[in-house]
Amino acid sequence: MTLQEFKNTLKNTPKSIQFSDTISVIEENYNFTPSAFKNGDLENASTQNLGSCKVLSFAVKQELSKEEALACFAQYYFIDVLETPNGAGHQNIRNFMKTGFEGLVFETETLSEKV
């Protein structure tokens, strides 16, 4: 799936996206450098939650809406989080739901476009 196809799917049928689709699109288009990051009151070391780091960095780079960013987490958002609103899993998704992009701070640049 190309980046544009992914973004079209994200806008039109977000629930059809799988998390593996999101990661594939990111890895096809960007070089990733792990970074510590803060998401609301949750602090992640550069060795933790690399998937969340990739997805949230991608959402920033692509200027996605908060809803589109959450949809990039696919089944982890639509099933694991939304179906268990009082659950404790997937804290980066849950924090992002509360604080959005305003709560994100990356220690270093995480994604650079492949040329």
**Tell me, what CATH number does 24's domain have?**
3.20.160.10
Report the candidate in 113, 14, 24 with the shortest Cα–Cα distance to residue 64: 14
Give me the residue label for tokens 């792990």.
Answer: 34
Distance CA 97, CA 59 (A): 13
Query: With a threshold of 0.85, does the pTM exceed it?
Result: yes
How crowded is residue 25: how many other Cβ atoms within 10 Å of its Cβ? 23
Which pLDDT score is estimated for 11?
A: 96
- Domain count for the chain: 1
Q: Is residue 115 domain-resident?
A: no
Report the candidate in 50, 17, 13 with the shortest Cα–Cα distance to residue 33: 50
27-50 burial by CB neighbour count: b if 16+ within 10 A, else e?
Answer: eebbebebbbbebbebebebeebe
What are the pLDDT tens digits along the chain (115 aa)? 999 999 999 999 999 999 999 999 999 999 999 999 999 999 999 999 999 999 999 999 999 999 999 999 999 999 999 999 999 999 999 999 999 999 999 999 999 999 8
Domain span at 60: 3-110
Distance CA 15, CA 106 (A): 27
Q: Is residue 13 domain-resident?
A: yes
The radius of gyration computed from the CA coordinates of the chain, to the nearest angstrom, equals: 13
